[in-house]
Amino acid sequence: MNEKIDIHSLDDLSKAEVEELIEVSEKYRPLSKSDILKGKAIILLFLSPSLRTRVSMERAAQQLGADVVTLQSGASLWQFEVDEGIVMNGAAAEHMKEASRVLSRYGHLIAVRAFPNRESWEDDAQDKVHNGFMKWASVPVLNLESSLYHPCQSLADLITMKRALGSKKPGKVVMTWCNHPKALPVAVPTSFALAASQMGWDLTITHPEHYDLPAEIIERCQKHAAANNQKLTITSNREDAFADAQFVYAKSWGRLDCYGDTERELADRKARGLEKWIVDESIMASTDNAWFMHCLPVRRGVIVSDGVIDSPQSLVFEQAENRLHGQKALLLKQFQKLGND
């Protein structure tokens, strides 16, 4: 029997494997129904809310002929314990050790979304829910966004950029931090940075001082960039970053050194005037008529102006649609069905 393929971060796969997923997503793009995964059951476990991920995963599974069971946290699902060797006399009613093994008896793949608690970075950086499911489930596990990574989103982003570019020469890609009324997780920006550098894009990350992404992730990005003879630029000079950009990817994330103290972080943003970190027409004017990207959901008037997100250069709906096609490819990969259909 082949070893199970778990996907935590997209760069668990090689560059060639990611390129194959992008090709496969195009092959299955027109699909409305097939029976490639007939007889297979996919269990989606949403321990955090979602609009796109839930619907696009359900539709991806249905289009490939699989059955889908979705569990959503709330009144009908209790809290899971994630730590090992503890006395379970708190709120959690079931340990992940049991939950993951039980669900492995009912389905052939488990996909999990679990946002960070944002109380302790050291704790969230361990990505305990996703790592626990990968360790204990006997079936493949797919990450639908954990504390650290969102591989389904970054695959859709790569598909979107490739399609937008067509036969044009690839240029500068800018990922910009943006203001937001909350301190958000880092999963999307880490995953986009890893995916863009792994695929050899010329990536610039711009953020205000103190908004550094995790050092271990940046080191991995630098290694990917070097493997592609490419550079990774990180700057707090937004104007320089946007100059001549071909793609602008907007995303907010919280400070790692303010973890667990959102009030302090938000007060500091106000004091430093970080509201100006919005993608609007004036900053986009310095780009090379760049495409605008965001994973959604987005705060209009905070992250991006209406004029930019509603412009013909906005790719946000392409990104959202490509979630569906990318995830069909990811499911086929994990079921080891690529090239067998």
**Residues that bind ligand CP in the complex, under the rule CB under 6 A:** 50-53, 145, 153, 295-297
Rounded CA gap, 29 and 22, in Å? Answer: 11
Please say which residue, 153 or 176, places its beta carbon nearer to ligand CP: 153
Please say which residue, 242 or 249, places its beta carbon nearer to ligand CP: 249
- Give me the least distance between CB of 109 and ligand CP, in Å please: 18
Rounded CA gap, 276 and 206, in Å? Answer: 13
Please say which residue, 48 or 313, places its beta carbon nearer to ligand CP: 48
Please say which residue, 36 or 250, places its beta carbon nearer to ligand CP: 250
**141-143 and 109-113: which strand pairing?**
parallel
- Give me the least distance between CB of 252 and ligand CP, in Å please: 13
The SS3 assignment for 164 reads: helix
Output the 3-class SS for 265-287: HHHHHHHCCHHHCCECHHHHCCC
- Give me the least distance between CB of 49 and ligand CP, in Å please: 7
- Give me the least distance between CB of 50 and ligand CP, in Å please: 3
Q: In degrees rounded to 5, what are phi and psi of residue 109? A: -160, 140
Greatest CA separation for the chain? 60
- Give me the least distance between CB of 194 and ligand CP, in Å please: 16
- Give me the least distance between CB of 132 and ligand CP, in Å please: 21
Helices (H), ranges, the chain = 15-27, 52-63, 96-106, 121-124, 128-136, 151-165, 187-198, 215-227, 238-242, 262-271, 281-284, 306-309, 316-334
Q: Are 239 and 206 in contact (CB under 8 A)?
A: no
Please say which residue, 52 or 118, places its beta carbon nearer to ligand CP: 52
Residue of this chain nearest to ligand CP (CB atom): 53
Please say which residue, 242 or 247, places its beta carbon nearer to ligand CP: 247
